Amino acid sequence: MPVELTKTEEVLETLEREIRSGKLEAGERLPSMRALAERFDVSTTILVRAVKELEKKGLVNTRERSRITVAGNAEPSLRRFALFTSVTQGNMDGYFDTLLDAANRNHLLALPMTSRMDHWKKDLRRLLDSDPFRVAADLEAYYYPLDTLYDICREANLLFFNRFEWDGPLPENGVLADYTAMTCHTLKHFLDRGHRKIVFLGHWDEPRPFNRRELTRAGELYGLELGSGAFDYCCWRDFENNPKRIQRIFGTKEPPTAIFSRSDSILFEMMCKLEAIYPKCRSMERIGCHNSIWSRLPGQEFSTYQLDFAKMWGTAVTKKKKGIEWVIPAFLPRTPSRGLQWR
């Protein structure tokens, strides 16, 4: 039968773990006795005993009772930086590799976890049990209710990475890609090249709220109304689920001459179908995102955007102050080597 810890042992174990994990850094001042007493629901007498044990272990300095700091000579284990994401291996080139590199450069232990959609709450709690000093979340809003995510992470140092797709105010802390700026750049690029019928290819049958806001705002800047013939939306599954929309958009005498998407892979798949059925679509200019292998296939190359994940992870693991760091993806223009010219 396991032996229950005394209150003093519970406080001692928790504070020692936070110091050795790096959650409490060398030189950092511990909260006041009153604050610690409220946190652990114990008397100051118990706290004094725990602090004395920490001092014996060389983990804190207590020159003044009212000022307790983490000792500079404490030897913590590697601090843990956790990632909870719906991105899968191979989905975004360099996504996980650059996280590991950034963690190694900063003497951190990276703990990436790809969420299992049916068990995500259990998975996230298990990840938080490893006591990371920070946890980054990169998730699709549709599958992960924000209130539940905040509730589970209420005691964690939560940072949103790459995207924040939920309705409502932006989070307190994040390193986010500026996809609205990317959309604005794409529309300007197309219009400057003379395109007058543009299509956005999405993952959903209809744009999700965050997607609609982004597309609408960017379109308004250039006099384009989303849903009009000049700026339309379709889903990559429309051939199976909405063939009438496919016919309305692409089966005309003057089909769109430009198409863009947040994903290289679905854009590549969609264009294979469109080219097979609507020959006029073969010369459509196309722009993807994330610079994956699907935009680099010989003879079928197309322009895309590249996020500097090395820089983004470097910021995420070292960030000291709360706030949003915005990163604008870099544009990588390409033309197909098979000799086609975009119209």
Give the residue extent of every domain in the chain: 7-70, 79-177+309-327, 179-307
Which residue from 268, 283, 261 is spatially nearest to 342, judged by alpha carbons?
Answer: 283
> Domain 7-70 is in which class?
mainly alpha
Cβ neighbors of 314 (< 8 A, separation 6 or more) are 102, 105, 106
Q: Under CATH, domain 79-177+309-327 is a member of which superfamily?
A: Response regulator (3.40.50.2300)
- Level-2 CATH architecture, domain 179-307: 3-Layer(aba) Sandwich (3.40)
pLDDT of residue 32: 87
**199 touches 285 (CB < 8 A):** no
**Reported pTM:** 0.76
Give the full edge-to-edge strand order of the sheet including 285-287. Answer: 231-235, 198-202, 258-261, 285-287
48: tokens are 């004094």
Distances (CA, A) of 339 to 45, 182, 267, 300, 342: 80, 27, 20, 10, 10
Same fold, 79-177+309-327 and 179-307: yes
DSSP state of 5: P
Per-residue pLDDT of the chain in tens (343 residues, 90 and over written 9): 334 568 888 888 888 888 877 778 888 888 888 888 888 998 988 988 888 888 888 888 886 556 888 887 655 567 899 999 999 877 788 999 999 999 999 989 899 999 988 899 999 999 998 889 999 999 999 999 999 999 999 999 999 999 999 988 999 999 999 999 999 999 999 999 999 999 999 999 999 999 999 999 999 999 999 999 999 999 999 999 999 999 999 999 999 999 999 999 999 999 999 999 999 999 999 999 999 999 999 989 999 999 999 999 999 999 999 999 999 999 999 987 654 554 5
